[in-house]
Structure 1
Amino acid sequence: MLNTLGADVLLVEPIGGSSVRTLAPFAGDTPHPERSLPFVAWNRGKRSIELDLGTESGASQLTELARTADVLIESGVVDVDLAALREANPALVTISISAFGTTGPKAPWPATDLTVHAAAGQLLMTGDEDRPPVRTTEPQVFQHAAADAACAALVALAERDSSGLGQHIDISAQRSMLMATQSNVLAAPYRAPLFQRTATGHLLNGVHVQLIWPCKDGHVLVNALFGAPFAPFIKRLVEWAREDGFCGDDLVNEDWPSFGARVFGGETPIARHTYLKEVIGKVCEHRTKAELLQAALDRKLLIGPIATMEEVVENPQFAFRNFFELVTDPEISPVPFRAPGSPVHADTKYVPLGRSPRLGEHSATALRHWAPRTETPSREPGNRQAPFAGLKVLDLTWAVSGPYTARHFADYGATVIHVESTKGPDSARAVQPFLDNLALPENAAIYHNMNAGKLSLSLNMASPGGREVLDDLVAWADVLIESFSPRGRLALGLDYERLRVINPQLVMMSTCLFGQQGPMAGYAGFGNMAACLVGFFDLTGWPDRGPAGPFGAYTDYISPRYAFATLLAGLRESRATGRGQYLDFAQAESAVNFLSVAMLDYSVNGRVAARIGNDDPAMSPHGVYPCTGTDRWVAVACRDDSDWHSLAWLIGRSDLASLNNAERLERRGELNDAVAAWTGLRSPSEAEAELIAHRVPAHAVIHSPDIYSDPQLAHLGHFAEIPHPHHGSVTVEASRFGLTGTPSTISNGAPSFGLHTVDLLTETLGYDLDRIGELFSSGALD
């Protein structure tokens, strides 16, 4: 991520190379340190130096590099004295990425992507109800952590601009992955029901709401959810079904805004909802994915075809935006191959990353490449300000991706104004879990979680008076973030060429699923639909069943990290040049990066990745195993022969302890049965404790109550109780960035609707009460 934004990144590798160079798949399926596609995916554009940090010479060279570096990132592969490096360079930002954080009761636990996933809630929410929870085939957890690390680095650098001081950042992969629960991690403190896993949709108040449907050539997702935000889309869908003769006027004329509440409350028979599902099934079953996608575009329907990796790479929208880079590297392919590029179109031209480095390719030049640091800190550590103190952010977004992007600014001192209207309230207000399971606008956990620390202005932006207020807000703001459709943005006058006349230094981001131009620019939808279209659904589930997830609006948990990092880079450039800029951000493109290995496997090898349940191509045993109780599980992974030897003896299968990794992969079914027989006699916590005591990576697969009481998260201060005007206080998640020098603060709870309207108009924009009265009378304020 940092490289994509223009940073010069130097990869320090041990003698013989990074262990990532040993990971499959390989170009041409030929194992070689220069042909590992995971290494290519995560290291394109970097420089490489080979150092033996266990020697005095290697340690000395690292110190010299740290003296001139801005940021140093480590992940526990080698023992590095970060405090000593910061002492040598007080401006240095150091970052540690680990499974659970570098301090706390779980800090020393052995871990893998799967076991951390088990600790982060989302795993239990994904998959078929009659099988173990299931992960996405391409590991996700540490990619979330890496994205948070990039964002945190940029926050620390923004603060360093004023103080001159670096600091340490502690990234916990568990905390990063908790974002993917879509705030269901808060169900316990909100006294709300726990989400129940089902592969084809959601169980809401005991009602099965089907989202995944078979079609003529695969599967599609139809967001047939309930409540005001979804009602217009369902009405258009059943109107289409009526054209096909699949239903009559009675279904078209249903009161869709209240339909869900009536079904859940028993006022409307469940058979009515069953009938709706039958109608949707008929619409889908005789059409192809391409036909259903075109209908979604033409008719404004919430339909997302579940794309294979081949369909992802060949998507004409990505070609239109030139998203994929053509990379020339004869070691990987005799012809140029496609790789993910930048998800943003900006005034500043993106420089393609190119190929990945050869091992030690830059060892001879690295030490003299960076200029010595000359500046000195301008403040004492005790006098540091919040990184974004004085920054003004106008948030015209809703749901998850945009609001969470804006919340990062509020966490670190910015003034953030979140604009809503009664005619278009934030759709997050209608998403469970709800406080005390009451579906009221001020009760939604995800609204509280995405908007903590912000101020609220109630504004009808479509009215003439509302437009005038909006222009004054633009003049006030340093940053504007909006998530309207391209057509909706222009209809509201949010044309950057017009706005830059009002505020020449404005940094503006438009964030939507597929960007502002191209054949899919008008595609309206949510993050679960984008997750279908970029490959996540096809790669989550079991090989003998249909796609099963991942849970929720998955790309909405990835894109805020990329959007926030892009905005910080844009702000940095704006302050250097004195000019603002416009950032056209495509959420789906950012998410493709989290499947970059599968994408490269297709691009280079022509292989279309398939879902494989909880199996891993390099580890066995590796899975989620049953424990005593209903839907209770423990995740276990053996990284190497040592892990397996310990596990085999622990479960009473010393006869298998001598199996090497190749043999274990060949006999994975037998080994899974052996592990399951042992775990099935224990509770998740009992199995976890015994496994960890024997240094085998493991974790109970936990949900909100266990997460809320997790001593590791308590140690890190992950949950925060903050004041709320209606509820007294509410619980939200704190920032995941882990800055130790300038930690985040949450000034207030997510605002109730329009809570700060009058104060903002008088104190921020300088309006008198007569003008405010006129705005209320005209309908500009509501």
Structure 2
Amino acid sequence: MTDATPHRAALAGLRVLEVGGGAAAAYCGRLLADAGAEVCSTALREPLRLAGIVRADDPVEQAYGHWLAAGKTLLPAMAQDAVQTLSRGFDLVLVGEASQCDAAALQPRVASVDLCWFGRWDPRHGWPGSDLVVQALNGMPHMVGPEDGPPLANGDRQATLVGGVTAYIAACAALLAEPAGTPRRLEVSIAEANLVLAEMHMYFFQRDGQPMRRWGINRFAPNSPVGIYPCREGWVGITVATPDQWRALCEALDLKTMAADEGLATRELRFGRLDEVEQGLCAALARRTATEWAAVGRDHRVPIVVVPDAEGILQHPVFGARASLGRLALPGGAVQVPRTPFGLTETPVPTHLAPARAMAVDHPAGPAQATATPAAVAHAPPLQGLTLVDFSMGWAGPLAARLLADLGATVVKIEAARYPDWWRGMNWTPEFIAERGYELSSIFCGMNRGKQGVSIDLTTAAGRQIALDLVRGADAVVENQAAGVMAKFGLDYAQLRAVRPDVVMASMSCFGTGNAWSGTRAYGSTLEQGSGLPSFTGTPGTPPTMTHLAHGDPVGGLYGCAGLLTALVHRRRHGQGQYVNISMVEAMLQFTTPALLAHQLVPAVPLRRGNRRGHAVPHGIYPAAGADQWLALEVADADGFAALCQLLGRSDWAQDPALRTLEGRREHEDAIDAAIAAWSRPQAPATAAATLRAAGIAAAPVLRADQLEADPDLAGADLFIDLVRAVSGPQRQVGPAIRQDGQRLGARSPAPLLGEHSQAALQAHAGIGPARFDALVAEGVIGLSPKPARNLV
């Protein structure tokens, strides 16, 4: 605690009505309940309450339903008009993607948040949705798995978790907005929310023009080494991004020959000899355990982490010290599950998840608003008037800050001429600087739109004072520097709080601050590796399998934004700032929930099943006509399987009573998969998917990330933001998955050039006039061109 004021839950006193079903909306409601809101759940009809949540009659599905319902009050099902009346007594209403509820008719005091698989503005609206379909359409599975296929989908439930936390961000933004006479109408597309995972790859394609492809398990060109490798005991994840890190890795593993080999000096050269590189790594790693090598990595500042299995997660020393796992009460006993990873130090979320409780139908609705529906108004962006100082670099921190800019906040991005954002470039040669290569990074531009760029040397006393002056006039700060860096600059939370007592500061690091592993050097790949998620991906006999080059960055950015906004809502309501200690590995840990439940409840069931899932048979990715073309489909119930049988010409299967059960289909899964592959192989994937959807079956072609920018469905959904920036020129960027009052939110100014807004922003936010500004430039405190002191090779 930072003062003597007793903490209260961040959202205590707020009332939320959740209209189920849908797992994304239920997860958003769970996050709101964990943050302290009173969440009441209902449905238009009782069967809809658990639609998309409990998808089969098995203990893991039932437990997942309990996890999503924890802390909520369950109201009886009621008709649309009763829900409309009830909504007037709530601050927020969540409308689930499977609810069949008319969100526009509801009248909460602040806002409604309406979730759907595909937005009502999207040409794909009405498609059957599922995690697998969303993943196929965002391009990520295409890059994962064996070179000859099939591609590997991400784990189950991931798409709905991303949709749910995005809806939570929208809800918190609405709670921070200036009060309005009518409720804000916020809409979130789950499919669009998941495109945050694909942004980096889209921008890489804009940069390189190279189509995406699979290179094999745990291989992501041209990065090397980035993967998961066996040790004497256990597995480690390793990521090397810079020349300094390669040299440090060779020193740590005693690979003197490799260190001296100029043919391995760059990541591109190493990728060309990856078999040789990985053979050398595995031979060295066999000398020690994974735990020992992770300690060596911390000592040498190389991103090396243990890749835990399910039991390793449950027994993890840092997860235990941080209470990263909570206890969920189930009818048969308690289990451990990932805790909501908001990192709130003054208003922590609970570590014990209380089961949902039922309440009778006469639950009071609270004070009613006027019966008549008010006329629609055009609300200002919800975060207009809020100011954030952004000390972050790379992807996760800048994404969290960009989301605030997209929602209307003023974001002042701090860089330094001697240490610019690392996504501007890694190798700062004189030629790179002379050609202004640091202004051409498409991914830097994508992550930093809508921000004001200020260049300050924070190692100087004057630079530190400017930063403090900026914070004095701000509401919040975000940073993702290495452990100890902000304190070294004199800008840690205690020092910022001295100039702005109610400031909210979010620190985003791999394992969080203040623990034995806080100094772990990390990238987005490290976060996926360290979460243990790869232990549940792929098939037996293969290494734990990564599903993304930098999975932890966009996921960490979403949860970092959510934690920051939660603290800001508490500050708005109670006047108290706080330190938000985000562990981005804990954000990735959310995705392990189904596997952890399975490990504790049905330990005999294998956790690595390729593209198969326990709730649906068939469920997979199948070959289609053309080189490396694939089709994703899943059948949710017996009626869907009967429809599939008609397409396959297998009326005998349709008439077999055993195959009308999930268990019966599971016993014949190999034969069913083979029949689907024979049917799909001669067809174009989009054609086959359309045929399946017409029969009511969830299906989609497996797209490549480089195809997304030209996807006519995404263009028809008005998703993209087209910006023109000095030096780098035009760029098409992915807009936020949040609409307000029917209009897509999103910042419309391009990412700043290095120091572009220094004079104007420092005058506006720190009171620095022209003469003082010129003097600071002359002293080198403010730099308008790079003079990097790192990675010169």
TM-score (norm 1): 0.88
Partner of 1:62: 83
Residue 457 of structure 1 corresponds to 454
2:413 is paired with a residue of what secondary structure? strand
2:243 pairs with one of 214, 217, 231? 231
What SS is found at the alignment partner of 2:405? helix
How far apart, CA to CA, are the structure 1 residues paired with 2:735 and 2:104? Answer: 25
| Structure 2 Cα separation of the partners of residues 460 and 735 of structure 1 | 32
Secondary structure of the structure 1 residue equivalent to 2:722: strand
Per-residue deviation at 1:283?
2.5
Aligned to 1:145: 163
Report the 3-state secondary structure (helix = DSSP H, G, I; strand = E; otherwise coil) of the residue aligned with 2:739.
coil
What's the CA shift for 1:391?
A: 1.6
Task: State the one-letter code of the partner of 1:568.
Answer: L
Greater alpha carbon shift after TM alignment, 72-81 vs 289-298: 72-81
Note the C-alpha offset of 1:148: 0.9
1:81 aligns with 2:102: yes
Aligned residue type for 2:70? R
2:323–2:351: 8 Å Cα contact kept in structure 1? no
Query: Which residue of 2 is the match for residue 167 of structure 1?
Result: 184
Checking the alignment, whether the CA contact within 8 Å between 1:136 and 1:611 is kept in structure 2 is: no
Say if 1:738 and 1:473 are closer, same or farther in 2 by CA, change over 3 A.
Answer: same
Deviation at 1:185, TM superposition (A): 2.8
Q: Which residue type is aligned with residue 73 of structure 1?
A: L
1:741 CA drift (Å): 5.6
1:382 offset after TM fit, Å? 4.2
1:124 maps onto 2:125 in alignment: no
Residue of structure 2 equivalent to 1:435? none
1:43 aligns with 2:69: yes
Alignment of 1:553-592 (within 5 A): 553-592=550-589
Q: d(CA) in 2 for partners of 1:623 and 1:337?
A: 29
- 1:109 Cα offset (Å): 1.4
Partner of 1:324: 325
> How many residues are paired up?
740
What does residue 231 of structure 2 align with? 215
Task: Give the equivalent residue in structure 2 for 1:18.
Answer: 50
Question: What letter matches 2:245 in structure 1?
Answer: F
**Equivalent runs, 1:290-305 vs 2, <5 Å:** 290-305=291-306
1:304, CA displacement in angstroms?
2.5
The equivalent of 2:256 in structure 1 is 247
User: What is the identity, as a one-letter code, of the residue corresponding to 1:427?
Assistant: W
Distance 2:253 2:336 in 1: 42
**Residue aligned with 1:462, SS:** coil
Could you tell me whether the CA contact under 8 Å between 2:145 and 2:151 is conserved in 1? yes
Aligned CA-pair RMSD: 3.0
User: Does 2:468 correspond to 1:471?
Assistant: yes
SS in 1 for 2:353: coil
State the Cα deviation string for residues 720-771 of structure 1 (Å, max 9, x = none): 1112011332111111122226641323111122222233233432323443
CA displacement 1:142-191 (0-9 Å, x = unmatched)? 111111111112222322x3324312222222111111124213455556
- Look up the equivalent residue of 2:71 and give its one-letter code: G
Amino acid at match of 1:712: D
- Partner Cα distance (1:196, 1:490) in 2: 42
Write the distance in 1 (CA, Å) between the matches of 2:263 and 2:571.
Answer: 49
**Would you say 1:354 and 2:353 are equivalent positions?**
yes
Deviation sequence 1:368-410 (CA, Å, 0-9, x none): 2x53256999x98546322222221100111111111101111
Cross-structure match for 2:339: 340
Structure 1 letter corresponding to 2:209: A
Call closer, same or farther: CA 1:645–1:157 in 2, change over 3 Å.
same
Report how far residue 60 of structure 1 moved: 4.2
The 1:73–1:276 alpha-carbon spacing in structure 2 relative to 1, beyond 3 Å, is: same
Distance 2:356 2:766 in 1: 52
Q: Distance in 1 between matches of 2:526 and 2:111?
A: 37
Residues 155 and 387, structure 1, Cα contact 8 Å, conserved in 2: yes
**Residue 259 in 1 paired to residue 254 in 2?**
no
Runs of 5+ consecutive residues of structure 2 not aligned to the other structure: 1-30, 428-434, 784-793
CA distance in 1: counterparts of 2:351 and 2:276, whole angstroms:
51
Residue 510 (structure 2) aligns with: 513
Gaps of 5+ in 1: 30-34, 265-269, 433-437
Q: Which residue of 1 aligns with 2:367?
A: 372
- In structure 1, what is the equivalent of residue 27 of structure 2? none
> 1:712–1:72: structure 2 CA closer, same or farther, 3 Å change rule?
farther
Q: 1:441 to 1:81 in 2, by over 3 A?
A: same
Q: Which amino acid aligns with 2:705?
A: S
The match for 1:388 is 383
Question: Which stretch shifts more, 18-27 or 443-452?
Answer: 18-27
Q: Name the structure 2 match of 1:762.
A: 763
Percent identical among aligned pairs is 24
The letter for the 1-side match of 2:143 is M
Q: How does 1:183-222 map to 2 (within 5 A)?
A: 183-186=200-203, 189-190=206-207, 192-204=209-221, 211-222=227-238
Which deviations, in whole Å up to 9, do the C-alpha atoms of 1:531-576 show, x marking residues without a partner?
1121211112123422221112212222222222222221222122
AA aligned to 1:251 is A
Kindly state the Cα deviation for residue 299 of structure 1 after the two structures are TM-superposed: 2.0
CA separation of 1:565 and 1:343: change in aligned 2, threshold 3 A: closer
Deviations 1:351-381 (A, max 9, x none): 44623325xx11356x22x53256999x985
CA offset at residue 692 of structure 1?
2.0
Could you tell me how far apart the structure 2 residues matched to 1:670 and 1:69 are? 51
1:99 corresponds to 2:107 = no
Q: What does the per-residue CA deviation read over 1:488-516, in whole Å, with 9 as the maximum and x for residues that have no partner? A: 22111122222112112211111111111
Query: C-alpha distance in 2, partners of 1:380/1:338?
Result: 44
Which residue identity does 2:297 align to in structure 1? A
> CA contact under 8 A between 2:531 and 2:588: conserved in structure 1?
yes
Q: Report the Cα distance in structure 1 between the residues aligned to 2:163 and 2:392, rounded to whole angstroms.
A: 24
Deviates more, 1:114-123 or 1:755-764: 755-764
The change in CA–CA distance for 1:725 and 1:100 in structure 2 (over 3 A counts) is same
- Does the 8 A contact of 2:225 with 2:270 survive in 1? no
The CA deviation at 1:599 is: 2.4
SS at match of 1:515: coil
- More displaced stretch, 381-390 vs 484-493: 381-390
Q: Which amino acid aligns with 1:385?
A: A
Q: Secondary structure at 2:536's aligned position in 1?
A: coil
- Residue in structure 2 matched with residue 421 of structure 1 by the alignment: 416
